[in-house]
Amino acid sequence: MDYRATESRPKSVYRHSSELGLWMGLYLFLMSACLLGSIRFQPLVLLIFPLGLGAPVMLYFLLRRVWRQDPSLHTFGAVWLAGIWTFIFGSLICAILTAGWILLLEPDFVSAYAAQSLATIEGSPLAGQYAAETARMRSMIQSGALPSPMQFIFTMIWSTAFFGSIISLFIALIFKAKEFKVKN
């Protein structure tokens, strides 16, 4: 994929971010799919942590490609903004795919996941230490106090965008430090 502008003027940071957001969204959906699939195959949940650690690496490589091709992105603010918008666009794409999965394949995902988590906690050797938490969890499941699928998805969008902005800050600092090191 060529990130250079096809016209005489360079692409805006938003255009770059929307194109990068597609790839970030697919990566984020891979994490989401592991969570959603863990209802049927529990070990999938173990992949979420390493994939989460890979998200900053993914963002770094996406932004590095644009950094090399577009000199207008060589400011701290532009890189940070590109990272933020990449995560926002990515989280929206991930949310659409996740909503499709939940609404079409797993409409009771939230309650099923809570019930599965409760069963896992109660089956552990340390279950007695979590009696208050398990009682509260059982009460929430029985009273229907769990979030709806759409509340789950909107929370996912906001939390991903928030953490993406923090990650983007650090990635932007890395790019500026590398630029400073090259200049001096």
Percent share of the chain, pLDDT over 90: 47
Asked if the structure places residue 121 within a domain, the reply is: no
Note whether residue 157 is domain-resident: yes
Residue 177 falls inside a structural domain = yes
Determine, yes or no, domain membership for 138.
Answer: no
pTM, entire model:
0.83
Domain count, the chain: 1
- Does some domain include residue 94? yes
- Residue 56 belongs to domain spanning: 13-112+147-183
Q: How many angstroms separate the CA atoms of 17 and 83, rounded?
A: 7
Task: Tell me the pLDDT tens digit for each residue of 113-172.
Answer: 888 888 888 887 877 777 888 888 888 888 888 888 899 999 999 999 999 999 999 999
- Residue of higher predicted confidence among 17 and 26: 26
With respect to residue 118, please indicate whether it lies within any of the assigned structural domains: no
Question: What is the CB neighbour count within 10 angstroms for residue 61?
Answer: 11
pLDDT for 83 beyond 90: yes
Confidence check: pLDDT of 81 > 80: yes
Residue pair 15/69 in contact by the 8 Å Cβ criterion: no
Asked, for residue 1, whether it belongs to a domain, the answer is no
Q: Do the domain assignments include residue 76? A: yes
pLDDT at 17: 87
Tens digit of each residue's pLDDT (9 = 90 or more) over 59-78: 999 998 888 888 878 888 88
Question: For the residues of the chain, what is the DSSP string, one character each?
Answer: ---S-SSSSPPPHHHHHHHHHHHHHHHHHHHHHHHHHTTTSGGGGGGHHHHHHHHHHHHHHHHHHHHHH-GGG-SHHHHHHHHHHHHHHHHHHHHHHHHHHHHHT-TTHHHHHHHHHHHHHHTSTTGGGGHHHHHHHHHHHHHT-SPPHHHHHHHHHHHHHHHHHHHHHHHHHHHHHHHHHHH-
